Amino acid sequence: MGNLLHSARLLVSDLASTLLFLAVLLVTKDLILAVVLGVALGAAQIGWLLARRRPIDTMQWLSIGLVVVSGVATLLTSDARFVMVKPSIIYCIVGAYMLRPGWMNRYMPPIAVATVPDIAFIFGYIWAGLMFGSAALNILLALTLDPVTWSAAMSIWGIVSKVALFLVQYAVMRTIGTRRGRRAAAT
């Protein structure tokens, strides 16, 4: 269970500034406040890691970069579509990154890397597919919905789709890994 929580913590950390933006927009309906707080959290995360001389993963750099660029564009133009389309850009970049074999190893415990690397490889492509599908859905919703409705729809989709795939992956990998472990112990 500790490994599951560790993986979930890393994923939430990577997406924290975007999640904060969406939550603030949903609760306050204040686009400017949501953008400012999302950018501030992203910058604080990077600053914290730099101050502690800890490595900053590619996903974290991508997230904060897009938060800052789309946030500044939104603030300068007062056009929410910059921020609304930003998740599609993130989804596409993340999806492309997820096409790289082994990207998932950061989120997996060593026993899973050793026991089910082939299953992780397959799920890496499934995750990439989810990201590309989410990008398309986001563009469709960003161009047809108001910012608050879009924020609610994409928040629900983002959380539900990723948690569901995460749980399916965890169950499949654990089941197959357990079977392989028992088989190896029997021989």
> Distance (Å, rounded) from C-alpha 42 to C-alpha 79?
21
Q: What does the domain layout of the chain look like in residue ranges? A: 2-186
Structure tokens given for 81: 């579509």
User: In the prediction, which pLDDT does 11 show?
Assistant: 66
For the segment 141-156, the average pLDDT, to the nearest whole number, is 88
Q: Give the global pTM.
A: 0.69
For the segment 96-110, the average pLDDT, to the nearest whole number, is 86
Cβ 137 vs Cβ 168: under 8 Å:
no
Cβ 20 vs Cβ 37: under 8 Å:
yes
Q: Which range among 15-24, 32-41, 64-73, 130-139 shows the weakest confidence by mean pLDDT?
A: 64-73
Spell 112-134 as b/e; 16+ CB within 10 A means b: beebbeebbeebbeebbebbbeb
Cβ 119 vs Cβ 176: under 8 Å:
yes
User: In the prediction, which pLDDT does 5 show?
Assistant: 67
Helices (H), 78-146: 81-98, 110-115, 117-144
Q: State yes or no: pLDDT of 1 exceeds 80.
A: no
Of 101 and 16, the structure prediction assigns the larger pLDDT to 101
pLDDT in tens, 171-183: 999 999 999 999 9
Q: State yes or no: pLDDT of 64 exceeds 90.
A: no
Cβ 90 vs Cβ 62: under 8 Å:
yes
pLDDT band at 70 (very low <50, low <70, confident <90, very high): confident
Q: State yes or no: pLDDT of 3 exceeds 70.
A: no
